[in-house]
Amino acid sequence: MKRKIGKLLRSERGDTSYITSYVYILVAVIMIVFIINVFKIISAKQEMDHMVDQMVKQIQLSGGTNSDTAALFNFLSGQLDEVRNLQYTVTTVGSPSRIQIGTPFYITVTGSCTLGGMWNFNLVNINLRAQGAGVSEHYWK
């Protein structure tokens, strides 16, 4: 048996069977599906970066977090179907709801995505994180 397999592998005749053609096509399809899944995750990360940029602008102009910040986050996160468990945190000196002019703040959006293959087997869980920073432009008396 080993001789037959070795002889077949060393053969330079160039003929193939239906089984080898099937295996080559199967491998090619699996690679294409994997590449598409990786691009899906890259696209989700770019969308999260865009979400952080929009939220930084909103917090800069309003001078802190409020109901508009939550509404903007809910709207933007509703457009990301492939990311689960989206959350955001704002860290700054003092209260994040009233950030004084010139005070820096940092925002982090986290979520999880899966690399699952053709039928979404959820084989690999990937945690995504997008970060942004800004400075408040609102003066609180």
Confidence of residue 15 (pLDDT cuts 50, 70, 90): low
Does any domain span residue 6?
Answer: no
- Give the tens place of pLDDT for each residue, 95-128: 999 999 999 999 999 999 988 766 667 778 899 9
- Residue at 65 is within a domain: yes
Residue 36 domain-assigned (yes or no): yes
Residue 83, domain member (yes or no) = yes
Mean pLDDT of 40-61: 94
**Count of domains observed in the chain:** 1
Determine the Cα–Cα distance for residues 82 and 79; give it in Å rounded to an integer: 9
pLDDT digits over 71-100, tens only?
Answer: 999 999 998 888 999 999 999 998 999 999
Residue showing tokens 């080993």: 2
Report how far residue 95's alpha carbon sits from residue 107's, in angstroms, rounded to the nearest whole number.
Answer: 13
The answer as to whether 1 is a domain residue is no
**Which domain, by its residues, includes 101?**
16-135
Is residue 10 in a domain? Answer: no
Output the DSSP codes for 25-93: HHHHHHHHHHHHHHHHHHHHHHHHHHHHHHHHHHHHHHTS--HHHHHHHHHHHHT-SS-EEEEEEEEES
